[in-house]
Structure 1
Amino acid sequence: RVGKLDARIKDEKIPLKYNLIGQETTGIGGFMKALRTIPVMMDIAEYVENYSPDAWLINFSNPSGIIAEALLNNTNVKMVGLCNAPIIMKREAIQRVPEGTSNIRIDYVGLNHLSWITGIYCDGREILQDQLFEKYDFINMKNIPKMDMDKELIKSIRSIPNSYLKYYYYRERQLQHMKEEEKCRGEVCLEIEEELLKLYQQPELIEKPAILDKRGGHLYSEVAVSLVSAIYNNKNEEHIVNVKNNGALDFMANDDVVEINCNVNKNGATPLSLKSLDNDHIKGM
């Protein structure tokens, strides 16, 4: 994290003075972080190119999509961008699958923190559209203020939205919430990390501290290790990652970085084309 949490706090608080969203990855706050982070990531990529050109660079640094766009289009490093939101959304979606289903396919499309699950296929049958209006209290990322989605909005988007889309769908409400909060998210994280460092100094600590659940980053380690394993062991597994589009989405340029289902093996991540995406809302976003 370039500038550490002190810089994140500025990313989140400065925009509020100008009635703009201050958030780690979205809006002007996210772009401020990108401007600090990209030059450092470009330096790291240069080191990888010079000293270990066959190595893979797996990036979690936010904003993950913009950093992937910068590195994949301006360096020769072998790189994949990661986020924990897709696996959280995918696990929530799987809870909708009927018992006894033997084959599951989940269609996921978008950019990092601007994404949707557009279909859930159970043994070849799409079930999401029939469920949406009855079960639309979707999972909420812990670092995003909870805000219920309007039923009319769900009718319009016909998909399960990423939690971060609330900063776009409900901009004014989110902005007001941020202004009214006693502390921004970065300040909360700083307090959590200070408490964690004190706890980690205790030799008798043998369990994960409960306060760690409040920090965010759920399932990061699982996502990273499973991706590395899929590359190293040539598994041909399906993972949702950030890669160049390369024709997978016909409404995006080939060199645009998208967050999409990919086949992952020793050659990296190859985006899997969606069979169809009849959704003007998503294309417009």
Structure 2
Amino acid sequence: MTQGVKIVTIGGGSSYTPELMEGFIKRYDELPIREMWLVDIEEGKDKLETVGTMAQRMWDASPYDVKVHLTLDRREALKDADFVTTQFRIGLLDARIKDERIPLSYGMVGQETNGAGGILKAFRTIPVILSIVEDMKELCPNAWLINFTNPSGMVTDAIIRYGKWERVIGLCNVPVNAMMAEPELIDKTLDELIYSFAGLNHFHWHKVQDLKGNDVTSEIIDKLYDGESGIPTNIHDIPFYKEQLKRMNMIPCGYHRYYYRSEEMLEHMLEEYNDPNKGTRAQQVKQTESELFELYKDPNLDHKPEQLSKRGGAHYSDAACETIASIYANKNTHIVVSTKNNGAIPDLAPDDVVEVSAYIGSAGARPIAFGSFHPAERGWLQVMKNMELCVEEAAVTGDYGLALQAFTINPLIPSGDTARKVLDELLVAHKKHLPQFAEKIAELEANGVTVKDEISRDLN
């Protein structure tokens, strides 16, 4: 690599960007940044300028002389980059509102990365990430792609499987949250424990040992029922059944609530959906984000505001910045990432992207062997991975039949005519961002398919 590091962040106008800047500033001694580029699209120009100006103030308040470049030209930014991070949302938060509200209008889970909404987010995102990869092949062929764009596991899998780009690592802050919250439950610090994660993004489990090799997972499980659960702020905290956790002797991630407690999670989501003063999680986030950007406009603000923790992405920089620093300095740090399985989980194919504990160094991620799961978890895992593979192929090909297949085998989508109606309505609602389905969407509209949820319809 050349002297100093060039980092490009696509989706640079995100409210998360100050968290990212904080992480880079904290690690400057081991990751000397030469250039920092923030990239966004025309619709995000105002936010890019607001957050970019604040990012520059953060660097100016630090001891380091780093210039933050802002651009709407992705190719200008990518030339000779060392690391590219992605944190974008196709269709912005209005698209997420549709992903949540349209399924809920039919009485099924509406969520950003799970169920019908998660599938549509993948349909919109995967073609765009693949176009970014094509630009990288031309403009920065030796760069590492650090993906934080959701659904992170499917997006990362598609980058490798369809983009043929191996220098990629997918990230999520959920494992970091668990490792930050749990040790103190048993009067330990993180460096006194050994964490082992395995599964898929937003669908993983973990177990914990002390430094003598004694399993302390059960002890943590007991304490989880006494207080803080450590789940992200964007997930309603309905407790798992303790007997299940004790039997599996693993701790599921927070998103498993949508699968282990579907009925109760759906009930809570429908309450918020029907409450005009609350609305779905995306509507609440839109309000939080609006408040954040007002704060970012303050010319005296030169540090990450505390309110950002409400956004749901706490500790994002601990994952993204530490991964980049670990690759750059060959640190071989333990980080939980989405990467090629390569045998870490024997229940899945070697080339399947999984979310596992790995050592991160200059060669990328070296996954740590976890071993086979018991039948219950193995069954969940294999269904979910094959559902993901159907979603990815449909996103690339625009195959409507395959999209129906993905809907049919997703555990959060009751199969039958309602599932088809939800798929059809979501396709029409997102038609601007689904060119691969254009022919089918035109057919659906000709047959009278429209968006029935009033708020989602107003966003079109």
Q: Place the TM-score, normalised by the shorter chain, in its bin.
A: over 0.9
Indicate the residue corresponding to 2:344 in structure 1.
248
Contact 1:105 1:120 in 2 (8 A): yes
Q: Is structure 2 residue 207 aligned with structure 1 residue 105?
A: no
Bigger CA drift: 9-18 or 98-107?
A: 98-107
Q: Which amino acid aligns with 1:57?
A: L
Matched-pair identity in %:
39
Contact 1:103–1:124 (8 Å) recurs in 2 = no
**Contact conserved, 1:156 with 1:281, CA < 8 A, in 2?**
no
Return the TM-score normalized by structure 1.
0.93
CA distance in 1, matches of 2:158, 2:172: 16
- Structure 1 residue 179 corresponds to structure 2 residue 274: no
Q: Does 1:27 align with 2:152?
A: no
Normalized per residue, the structure richer in helix is 2
- TM alignment of 1:77-226, pairs within 5 A: 77=165, 78-96=167-185, 104-133=193-222, 135-136=224-225, 138-181=229-272, 182=275, 183-206=279-302, 208-226=304-322
Matches within 5 A, 1:21-60: 21-60=109-148
Query: Taking structure 1 as reference, are residues 253 and 49 closer, same or farther at Cα in structure 2, changes over 3 Å only?
Result: same
**Other structure's SS at 1:125 match:** coil
| Preserved contact between residue 183 and residue 190 of structure 2 (Cα < 8 Å) | no
Shift of 1:47: 0.7
The CA deviation at 1:121 is 3.4
Q: Which residue of 2 aligns with 1:4?
A: 92
User: 1:141-187: CA deviations, max 9, x gaps?
Assistant: 10111112222232333211111000111111111111110311111
Equivalent residue number for residue 70 of structure 1: 158
Give the deviation of 1:123 after TM superposition.
1.7
Query: Structure 1 residues 206, 171: closer, same or farther in 2, change over 3 A?
Result: same
CA shift for structure 1 position 204:
3.3
Equivalent residue pairs, number:
284
Distance 2:319 2:188 in 1: 25
Distance, in Å, in 2 between the alignment partners of 1:60 and 1:101 is: 23
Greater Rg, structure 1 or structure 2? 2
The separation in 1 between residues aligned to 2:255 and 2:323, in whole angstroms, is 23
**Aligned-pair CA distance for 1:99:** 5.1
Question: Is there any run of 5+ residues in structure 2 with no aligned partner, and where?
Answer: 1-88, 381-460
Counterparts of 1:151 and 1:176, CA distance in 2: 21
For residues 99 and 133 of structure 1, the distance between their equivalents in structure 2, rounded to whole angstroms, comes to 15
Q: Distance in 2 between matches of 1:180 and 1:158?
A: 33
Instruction: List gaps (5 residues or longer) in structure 1.
Output: none
SS of residue paired to 1:14? helix
In the alignment, the residues of structure 2 paired with residue 40 and residue 104 of structure 1 have an alpha-carbon distance, to the nearest angstrom, of 39
